[in-house]
Amino acid sequence: MEKGKITLNDIARIAGVTIGTVDRAMHNRSGISEKTRQKILDIAKEYDYKPDIIGRSLSMKRKRLKIGVLLRREPTFFWDHAARGIRVAAKEMEAFGINPQIEYFHMTSGFTDEEYIAMYRSTLIQMNEDHKNAFILVPVNHPFLVEDVNFLNKKGIPVVTLNDDREDSQRIFHIGPDTYQSGRVAAQLTGGLLSGQGRVLLYTANYSSSGYFLRKKGFMDKMHESYPDIHITERNQKTVLEAFYGGDVDIRSFDCICNIDGATVSEGVALLKQKGDVDFIKYIGFEINSDVKEHLADGSIHAVISQDAFSQGYFALRMLCEYLVYAKQPKYDRMFVRCDIILKENMIINDRIVNPYFMGD
Amino acid sequence: MEKGKITLNDIARIAGVTIGTVDRAMHNRSGISEKTRQKILDIAKEYDYKPDIIGRSLSMKRKRLKIGVLLRREPTFFWDHAARGIRVAAKEMEAFGINPQIEYFHMTSGFTDEEYIAMYRSTLIQMNEDHKNAFILVPVNHPFLVEDVNFLNKKGIPVVTLNDDREDSQRIFHIGPDTYQSGRVAAQLTGGLLSGQGRVLLYTANYSSSGYFLRKKGFMDKMHESYPDIHITERNQKTVLEAFYGGDVDIRSFDCICNIDGATVSEGVALLKQKGDVDFIKYIGFEINSDVKEHLADGSIHAVISQDAFSQGYFALRMLCEYLVYAKQPKYDRMFVRCDIILKENMIINDRIVNPYFMGD
DNA sequence: CTGAAAGCGCTTACAG
DNA sequence: CTGAAAGCGCTTACAG
């Protein structure tokens, strides 16, 4: 008997029982004597039994895995990529009958916080009525979120948090950007580009997100450690217009703009172009979309750091499925996607580049 | 009948035939009347039949897919990663019973070209005697390679080329680095770092490889286009010692060393450290290993560009399996892996970063 | 030219 | 506590 190639049927034959009994032993099901269970487990161990995933999958066909996914809506380029990552992973796992149902919720304008929470919660309840096997959620910042996650968990419905985390909840794991580290990467790029000298304008429209706060902190920490001679001016006005041209700002006195806030990058560059200042200042941003690609191509953006939403979605679904199908526990309960540095010359412009980004097409 | 969820059994029932006949129709097998075949195909189309990959796989278990893989040996860190990518992909596809047999051949020293070719070829023949279903090969530069690839292809054994390509052969597709583009990326990094001014030492131990030649060309092209004021000195001595300190070289007259030749990067940096020159010059290299990681961490290397061997192996096996199992033709017959820019702050130092590099562990 | 059946490796409802 | 059997969706060797 070749090691590792043994099947449940083989074990049954060796143990002198039937396959049903073997199954009971392997899955710690009830209705089996301790003695037979031990005998069977010993045999399994001796012959290094590994369950055949595809036999199991075929048999599992009867109950397809329904996974509820609740994402944000804006910025759309970002969340579209996340949804795409989820669909690609689902397609890869289609052998296991994964069936993700993706819903979105808006966080932009026109509603009070309470109204958002209510909308979010009602969507969640509605999705759950369809008897989901698991959820992938982008959490909102409200105590109920923890309650609901814990409730689902108690009912045996695991929850994964995407992009934002609630460590105080019983989500089984989290996948998101390493925002602090991405700030450090931006600082190293900036410092290298300025040879450790000069003036930097650091801009964010939105510090309310803890992600942006952490990114700024990463940027500042790395600057203080490695480039103490660079002078940093923070601006966090609501619009790039105010930030770059409001008050008594002389934009040309800066050597570099670092735009912490991924959502306003292309807007910021467009403004510099319009004012005729774009050639006098280096621009470093976050995240990539088609506008940003154009700015990279024509040289008006030097670099962006991407912690791509696609990978977040892809790995969230994939690791969740491995958890559901193989009972494989992720190594950590908090994981991050890579910080990719994207310049004109290494941005991906065609699909001859093999890459998870394109595997689903 | 839900669209797309129809099975062969359903079709058989609808057509009033048995599943064996449906199978004959779907696979263009002989022994079926044109009329029944048409009827069955029409039904399949109408109900949007998609074969269930996992049913097929289970049934295919009887003939596991044996794939022969022939890689180089040196530099080991590189080919170990390629082999690892292949194993990870095989594990991911284990549902389909993929069984890669990986062999290596040396290209270093002590043999004539003819002897190498003979060794390579005998290994290939030996592997093929085990009735492989497909091959992944790192080609050697000899006409016989084309002959053998074409011979295998004619016998219905597809061949994929890895890292190097032979476009004149009938390999079904190629995956490798985009060496020309990686040279351009290095040039953009260098140019940015020097703000378009200064002197660069461009070093390669080995121009005989067409990969290094193309990389150099990419570097030069981008420099001429974007940073015409940077002065470039080429050195291609056999050792870094000769290149950096041989003749009348004053290494400190350079602002930056760009080391085209991925295999000598850590050696070069170690030499600069030993001579006390490392703080006076920026270093840009290619490929990453544990030594290079240390140099990145302590700041003696500014950046490396990685076209990781892992991905080459991973995608080669994966796309080959998709070809064998689903008959899925890759979009292009020549594909490249990404050029990743790696600085101290974004190099991956722990496995909390979700990444194909770590998916197999 | 077509049918009937076994088999891939597992899970699960049912019978005893 | 254990067994016997059906079934997941496909492929294939054999019978007619």
Q: Which of residues 207-266 of B touch strand D (CB under 7 A)?
A: none
**Any idea which of A329-333, A339-343, B49-53 has the lowest mean pLDDT?**
B49-53
Question: What 8-state DSSP symbol labels residue B171?
Answer: -
Torsion of CA B35, B41, B47, B51, to 10 degrees: 140
pLDDT at residue B207 tops 70: no
Q: Which of residues 50-89 of B touch strand C (CB under 7 A)?
A: 58-59, 61-62
pLDDT at residue B285 tops 70: yes
In this structure, the number of other CB atoms found within 10 A of the CB of residue A270 comes to 15
Min distance A50 CA to chain B CA atoms (Å)? 12
* Selection from B90, B108, B97 nearest residue B58 by Cα: B97
pLDDT at residue B227 tops 90: yes
A18-28 confidence digits (pLDDT tens)? 888 888 888 87
How far is it, in rounded angstroms, from Cα B139 to Cα B174?
Answer: 11
pLDDT at residue A63 tops 70: no
Instruction: Name which of B338, B339, B342, B349 to mutate to probe chain A: the one with the most chain A Cβ atoms within 10 A of its Cβ.
Output: B338
Most confident of A54-68, A70-84, B107-121: A70-84
pLDDT at residue A10 tops 90: no
The partner residue sitting opposite B185, judged by closest CB among A337, A338, A346, is A346
Residue of chain A whose Cα is closest to the Cα of B219: A345
Residues from chain B that touch A343, judged by Cβ atoms under 8 A, are 185, 188-189, 192, 341
Residue range A8-50 forms a domain whose CATH class is mainly alpha
Q: How far is the CA of B42 from the C1' of C2 (A)?
A: 19
The first and second tokens of residue A131, run together, are 């008897």
Q: What is the mean pLDDT of chain A?
A: 86
**Any idea which of A287-296, A321-330, B175-184, B332-341 has the lowest mean pLDDT?**
A321-330
Min distance A137 CA to chain B CA atoms (Å)? 18
Query: Between chains, do A58 and B55 touch, taking CB under 8 Å as contact?
Result: yes
Residues from chain B that touch A355, judged by Cβ atoms under 8 A, are 337-338
Most confident of A105-109, A229-233, B102-106, B148-152: A229-233
The first and second tokens of residue A11, run together, are 């074990």
Please give the average per-residue pLDDT across B332-358, as a whole number: 79
How far is it, in rounded angstroms, from Cα B257 to Cα A232?
Answer: 30
How far is it, in rounded angstroms, from Cα B132 to Cα B320?
Answer: 13
pLDDT at B300: 95
Residue of chain B whose Cα is closest to the Cα of A316: B354
The partner residue sitting opposite A54, judged by closest CB among B58, B189, B331, is B58
CATH topology of domain B179-306: Rossmann fold (3.40.50)
The residue behind tokens 């015409």 is B228
| CATH number of A60-163+309-330, picked from 3.40.50.2300, 3.30.710.10, 2.70.98.10, 3.40.50.300 | 3.40.50.2300
Query: Between chains, do A58 and B58 touch, taking CB under 8 Å as contact?
Result: yes
Q: Which of residues 32-91 of A touch strand D (CB under 7 A)?
A: 32-36, 58-59, 61-62
Give B276 or B307, the one with higher predicted confidence: B276
Q: Is the CB of A299 under 7 A from strand C?
A: no
**Any idea which of A275-279, A324-328, B128-132 has the lowest mean pLDDT?**
A324-328
What confidence category does residue A109 fall into, taking pLDDT thresholds of 50, 70 and 90?
A: low
pLDDT at B259: 95
Contact call for residues B220 and B232 (beta carbons, < 8 A): yes
Q: Which of residues 32-71 of B touch strand D (CB under 7 A)?
A: 51-52, 55-56, 58-60, 62-63
Please give the average per-residue pLDDT across A274-287, as a whole number: 94
CATH 3.40.50.2300 in chain B, residues? 60-163+309-330, 179-306
Q: Protein footprint on strand C: which nucleotides are under 7 Å from a CB?
A: 1-14
What confidence category does residue B241 fall into, taking pLDDT thresholds of 50, 70 and 90?
A: very high
Query: Between chains, do A351 and B331 touch, taking CB under 8 Å as contact?
Result: yes
Q: Which of residues 122-161 of A touch strand D (CB under 7 A)?
A: none
pLDDT at residue A359 tops 50: no
* Selection from A159, A125, A119, A158 nearest residue A142 by Cα: A119
Contact call for residues A341 and A303 (beta carbons, < 8 A): yes
Question: What 8-state DSSP symbol labels residue A78?
Answer: H
pLDDT at residue A13 tops 50: yes
pLDDT at B93: 73
Nearest amino-acid residue to C2, taking CA and C1': B21
pLDDT at residue A360 tops 60: no
Give B32 or B235, the one with higher predicted confidence: B235
Q: Is the CB of B27 under 7 A from strand D?
A: yes
Contact call for residues A65 and A133 (beta carbons, < 8 A): yes
The residues, ordered by sequence, that sit 6+ positions from B36 with a Cβ below 8 Å of its Cβ are B15, B17, B21, B25
pLDDT at B349: 67
Q: Which helix (H) or strand (E) holds A101?
A: strand A98-105
The partner residue sitting opposite A341, judged by closest CB among B319, B343, B354, is B343
Give B192 or B74, the one with higher predicted confidence: B192
Q: What is the 3-state secondary structure (H, E, C) of B6-53?
A: CCHHHHHHHHCCCHHHHHHHHCCCCCCCHHHHHHHHHHHHHCCCCCCH
CA A100 to chain centre: 16
How far is it, in rounded angstroms, from Cα B297 to Cα B291?
Answer: 10
Contact call for residues A312 and A177 (beta carbons, < 8 A): yes
pLDDT at A267: 94
**Any idea which of A133-142, B125-134, B243-252 has the lowest mean pLDDT?**
B125-134
Give A192 or A360, the one with higher predicted confidence: A192
pLDDT at B163: 92
Most confident of A37-46, A70-79, B158-167, B222-231: B222-231
Q: Which helix (H) or strand (E) holds B273?
A: helix B265-275
Residue of chain A whose Cα is closest to the Cα of B330: A352
Query: Between chains, do B345 and A222 touch, taking CB under 8 Å as contact?
Result: yes
How far is it, in rounded angstroms, from Cα A143 to Cα A112?
Answer: 16
A157-216 confidence digits (pLDDT tens)? 899 999 999 999 999 999 999 999 999 999 999 999 999 999 999 998 876 666 888 999
Q: Is the CB of B8 under 7 A from strand D?
A: yes
The partner residue sitting opposite A336, judged by closest CB among B53, B55, B352, is B352
pLDDT at B360: 42
Please give the average per-residue pLDDT across B343-347, as a whole number: 92
How far is it, in rounded angstroms, from Cα B354 to Cα A317?
Answer: 12
CATH 1.10.260.40 in chain B, residues? 8-50
Q: What is the mean pLDDT of chain B?
A: 85
The first and second tokens of residue A313, run together, are 């979605």
Give A337 or A359, the one with higher predicted confidence: A337
pLDDT at B96: 64
Burial class from Cβ neighbours inside 10 Å (0-12, 13-18, 19+) for residue A269 reads buried
pLDDT at residue A350 tops 70: no
pLDDT at residue A361 tops 50: no
Contact call for residues A234 and A259 (beta carbons, < 8 A): no
pLDDT at residue A303 tops 90: yes
Q: Is the CB of A15 under 7 A from strand D?
A: no
Min distance A296 CA to chain B CA atoms (Å)? 12
Is there a cis peptide before residue A330, judged by omega within 30 degrees of 0? no
Torsion of CA A358, A67, A155, A129, to 10 degrees: 150
Is there a cis peptide before residue B75, judged by omega within 30 degrees of 0? yes
Degrees (nearest 5) of the Cα angle B286, B291, B295?
A: 75
In this structure, the number of other CB atoms found within 10 A of the CB of residue A276 comes to 8
pLDDT at A245: 94
Q: How far is the CA of B9 from the C1' of D10 (A)?
A: 10
pLDDT at B359: 46
SS3 A286: strand
The first and second tokens of residue A125, run together, are 């309840």
pLDDT at A355: 61
Q: Are strands B303-306 and B340-342 parallel, antiparallel or unpaired?
A: antiparallel
**Hey, which bits of chain B come out as E strands?**
65-72, 98-105, 134-137, 159-162, 173-176, 198-203, 230-235, 256-259, 282-286, 303-306, 334-337, 340-342, 353-354
